[in-house]
Amino acid sequence: MIAILAALAVLAPGPQNAAAPSEAAWTWTLYGDDTPVVLANEVPDTANLRTTLECEPGSSVARLTLYGGEGATGMARVTAGEASAVSEARTGRGGALKLALRTDHPVFAAFGVDGRLGVTVGEQRRAVEVPAAHLAKLRRFAELCSG
């Protein structure tokens, strides 16, 4: 009974659920023990996601999902450092922007160096930033994904 009440309290609308998570609550987490491998920019123990990178180990293909914006369909220009690539973008559930990147492409290598990735589809521009403190997770993600 207590477990049911606790679950209802978490799901019930209220001040604790109405406010957006503080910036300090967001972190990058690497889930590498399961298939697929996932690197998530999230508020842990919640459904709040900004970005996910997923791959099947050894596939060399990372699936990037950007949440919290308007989805888009078409060709995406992806940039990191001096490198760029083109990938087909599509709209996912809830308006998420989804695309795939090769982990052995120079754009992904440049992303691993400075943690900055830009995605442009039409007039829509989105950015992914992995702080220096979490770059080792991004590099480990690329290692686990690469074939």
Could you read off the pLDDT tens digit of each residue along the chain, which spans 147 residues? 233 323 323 333 333 444 567 877 899 999 988 789 999 999 999 999 999 999 999 999 999 999 988 878 999 999 999 999 999 999 998 899 999 999 999 999 999 999 999 999 999 999 999 999 999 999 999 999 997
| pLDDT given at position 19 | 56
Beta-bridge partner residues of 50: none
Q: Check: pTM over 0.75? Answer yes or no.
A: yes
| pLDDT given at position 16 | 40
| pLDDT given at position 147 | 79
